[in-house]
Amino acid sequence: MSNARLKDLRAFTGFGSVAAGCVIFLYAPILFLTVYSFNDGRSVSQWSGASLRWYAKVLHNSDIQAAAVNSLIIATVAATVATVLALGAALAMTNNRFRGEEAAYATITLPLMVPEIVTAVASLVFFVSVGFSLGFTTILLAHIVFCIPFAYLPIRARLEGMDATLRSAAADLYASRRQAFTKITLPLLVPGLVSGWLLAFIISLDDFIISSMVAGPGSTTLPMHIYGMLRLGITPEVNAISSLMLIGSTLLVIVAGVLNRGGKTT
């Protein structure tokens, strides 16, 4: 059967347009704010001519740079740790019945259910009463916790769909548990792991309420910095740093893609 015919069978009409529409919808505000990062005036909505002054301001503003770097580090570490923990949990709980599984499920998804301000205040009270001094570590811990459900659910969704016969086939071939896991399960899980990691990453990058409550002196994250600007007015400086973050993320993706080309395709 020719490739063209296969593609035809797999496609549903209109799906491509919806996907394209999705991307346009997601990127329209991004385009808007990138354009206004070059605005000469202080407004984020009234154009007064083109200028690079806000980029210059960002490059001279070590506070905003430090905040952005902090956010990126925290998000990367939190997402990675959360994904690893979530992977363990997903492997243990999917297609597996054991006592207390409902409690386990409730616990894993608990961070999702608690309103952010409650998590924020409760964590603050908890850390201080235990004598844990606020700082970078407390932000990281809090982030890892609320990232876990975001990593867990996509991994579990992936795992649930996986063919259980693959595992018993591996067992039939006398593969050890570890071999079955690393050679079969893990490679097949990759899209789930990537999805989980990405979701955990973006949720951590965006967090403001929890971070602001449990951060110590000297540890500011980018959202904290941005929200702090609200009282005296947001300037295109925020647009400038956002554009720089976007460029950074795109570069990262390109680099990852280039590196991957050397590896095998799944």
Partner 1 sequence: MTDRALPLSSRWSERAVTAGLLWPSLAVITVFMVIPVAIMAVYSFLEPATYGGVVWKFSTAGYEQILFERDFLDDSLVFSADYLLILWRSVAQAAIATLLCLIISVPTAYYIATRSDRAKTIWIYLITIPYWVNLLIRTIALLFILRDDGPINDVLMAAGLVSAPLSLSYNSFAIGLGLVYSFLPFMVLPLYSAFERFDFKLLEAAYDLYASRRIAFFRIVLPVMRPGLVAGGLLVFIPAIGSFLAPDILGGGKTLMIGNLIGTQFQGARNWPFGAALSMILMTLTLIVLIWMARRAARTKFNG
Partner 2 sequence: MKLRAILLTTAVLGWAVPALAEGDLFIYTWGEYTPPDLVTKFEKEFDVKVHIDTFDSMETMLAKLRSGAGGYDIVVAGDATVQVMIAEDMIEKIDVNAMPNYANVDDKWKDVYWDAGRSYSAPWAWGSTALIVDTAQVTGDINTLDVLFNPAENVKGKINMLRDVNDVINMAQRYLGVPRCNESPEDMKKVLELLQTQKEWVKSYNSEFKEPMVSGEAIVSMGWNGYSMRAREEKPTLAYVYPKEGYTGWMDNLTVPKGAPDLDNAKAFVNFMMAPENAAMVSNYARYSNGIKGSEAFMDAGLSDAPELTPPADAPAPEFIPTCSPESVKLYDRVWTKLLN
CA 200 – CA 186 distance, rounded (Å): 19
Helix axes 53-60, 236-262, angle to 10 degrees: 80
229 binds partner 2 (CB under 8 A): yes
Angstrom distance (rounded) from CA 1 to CA 80:
42
Of the two residues 58 and 247, which places its CB atom closer to partner 2 in the complex? 58
Candidates 5-13, 151-159, 197-205, 233-241: pick the segment binding partner 2 (CB under 8 A).
233-241
Does position 266 interact with partner 1 (CB under 8 A)? The reply is yes
3-state secondary structure of 50: strand
Nearer to partner 1, 81 or 219 (CB): 81
Q: Does 162 bind partner 1 (CB under 8 A)?
A: yes
Instruction: Report the site for partner 2 in 144-203 (rule: CB under 8 A).
Output: none
By CB under 8 A, tell whether 157 contacts partner 1.
Answer: yes
Q: Which does 135 bind (CB under 5 to 8 A by kind): partner 1, partner 2, none?
A: partner 2
By beta-carbon proximity to partner 1, the closer residue of 197 and 219 is 197
Measuring CA to CA, which residue among 192, 204, 187, 194 is closest to residue 154?
192
Residues 42-101 interacting with partner 1 (rule: CB under 8 A): 44-45, 85-86, 88-89, 91-93, 95-98
* DSSP letter string, 13-49: TTHHHHHHHHHHHHHHHHHHHHHHTTBSSS-SSS---
Minimum distance from CB of 121 to partner 2 (Å)? 6
Report the run of H or E that residue 148 belongs to, with start and end.
helix 136-161
